[in-house]
Structure 1
């Protein structure tokens, strides 16, 4: 997403240069920025093959454990794959849980050694879904993050997923969480985009035809507009690590919902910074993004 620190970290990890990775991370002190860097680094292949060298070289540092643990969360989901549970093989589930347990042990160690840490705790919120932990434990993990950084972007996005009906919640819980966060969070946090994300979750579940009509309802469009006014369209909402994500969420919600003037504004801001989600919900993310951008541009020209 064009973030220089995340790009430098990923380059260092691809080169298997833990010293360069360390030098990047010691400069990233903002909790949201650090979480974004780790989220990006999770996509770098083969890190688990060599990252132990860093931990052995600097046993007093929590940074190698943090990189290894956060990366292992994505590594675990790679083992599971993206298919539905009914189409996922038993051996994939076993490897998924083995890797996720490995990740949690590392993240727990970081949290135990660093009382102020938020990144390990945020990734424990992500792991909560895969480990199928109970509601009390999932909420405890989330509370540990927001007690240290109230508007943590990654933790909120992951807790929204936990509260979705497709995981361990319901539509009512999902919207209550999204709307409460949107009402309380400062516009600069961008967390009001959780409202758009929640509506896209409903859209994703509906049958073809019904899905678009849902987003085109007047009350849905009005709520998405209000959420945008308190985040991506607010003057205090600037560019931070991961800033394209909320803009892409609103672009899709506006475009599919028929609010093309609002969508066009988001597409102009995004430029070519297309994100995998939410566009991958409808197929190849780049093709879907281009299709809707072209349709919106033609309609407002």
Structure 2
């Protein structure tokens, strides 16, 4: 799928599915489930969408995550699992929905049951990293001991070493706000960067860490908060921005499912670094598809994106 699209007159829009048109169509249908109830047609559509991704773990993971967010307010996941008792995708999806609900509530009602579903799915589909990715996110949510977290991380990495969702979960778990430190985060980033291909799905992890650090410092307020923008002049930050700017916006260079999310991340980082003029090509590549994060760090994401896109394209 091309990540390059023309700017539309309707203006920027939040699209969790990014440029996956089929995913967007099914996501919107799932959002109506609460009003219309669950039927076999909806289940068939979700199953088909996931099956079409085949062994493209990156695309499958993106579709699982987006659909789980859409299905969390309804009984869709449980209905699917009950009607398709032999489906491993239904097991993983139900666990993922429970994870989404747990994030929203600040804790899971029955993490053990959801984990058991993941283990059952992992036993049934040994090559699939999906069940292990959900387990990793659950362990992060409950602030599990690092020994448990790294054991599950190893299971993911053995199956899909550049799994974007898993790497982001590890990055946040290792943050100072959770169970790690800034140095631990940077060590993790360096370990990925040392061996990952140039256009792997995890190319945005280093910029994510830098934006997280910038937001962390800004939130402190005072003199330190006011000086946070200086972070973007450090060698590590300028190097990461330059490397991304030279590759990411070019057509066909980023092909992973969340490429548009990483382009949003790059545009935001360039803006914060005071490099708005250089962000024009990135904003052009993004078009009108906006991700809530990181633009929401500064207010309404659509307003902030539209404001800076106009400046970047001027």
The answer, yes or no, to whether TM exceeds 0.5 is yes
Displacement, 1:58? 2.3
Provide Cα deviations, 1:57-109, integer angstroms capped at 9, x if missing partner. Answer: 322221211211112111111222xxxxxxxxxxxxxxx23154443232222
C-alpha separation between the residues in 1 aligned to 2:72 and 2:267? 34
Residues 100 and 232 (structure 1), Cα distance of their counterparts in 2 relative to 1, 3 Å cut: farther
User: Which residue of the other structure, out of 170, 174, 179, is the alignment partner of 2:190?
Assistant: 179
1:122 aligns with 2:133: yes
SS in 1 for 2:52: coil
2:208 aligned residue: 197
Q: Give the aligned CA root-mean-square deviation in angstroms.
A: 2.2
- 1:282, 1:288 within 8 Å by CA — same for their partners in 2? yes
1:90 aligned residue: none
C-alpha separation between the residues in 2 aligned to 1:230 and 1:167? 33
- 1:6, 1:36 within 8 Å by CA — same for their partners in 2? no
C-alpha separation between the residues in 1 aligned to 2:105 and 2:52? 32
- 1:190, 1:246 within 8 Å by CA — same for their partners in 2? no
Provide Cα deviations, 1:110-159, integer angstroms capped at 9, x if missing partner. Answer: 12322112112112221121111111111111111110111111111111
2:13 aligned residue: none
Residues 252 and 229 (structure 1), Cα distance of their counterparts in 2 relative to 1, 3 Å cut: closer
Taking structure 1 as the reference length, what is the TM-score of the superposition? 0.85
SS in 2 for 1:142: helix
C-alpha separation between the residues in 2 aligned to 1:281 and 1:64? 34
Displacement, 1:248? 1.2
C-alpha separation between the residues in 2 aligned to 1:11 and 1:35? 18
1:86 aligned residue: none
Residues 219 and 185 (structure 1), Cα distance of their counterparts in 2 relative to 1, 3 Å cut: same
1:56 aligned residue: 82
Taking structure 2 as the reference length, what is the TM-score of the superposition? 0.82
1:39 aligns with 2:39: no
1:272 aligned residue: 288
C-alpha separation between the residues in 2 aligned to 1:99 and 1:278? 30
C-alpha separation between the residues in 1 aligned to 2:188 and 2:251? 24
- The answer for unaligned runs of 5 or more in structure 1 is 81-95
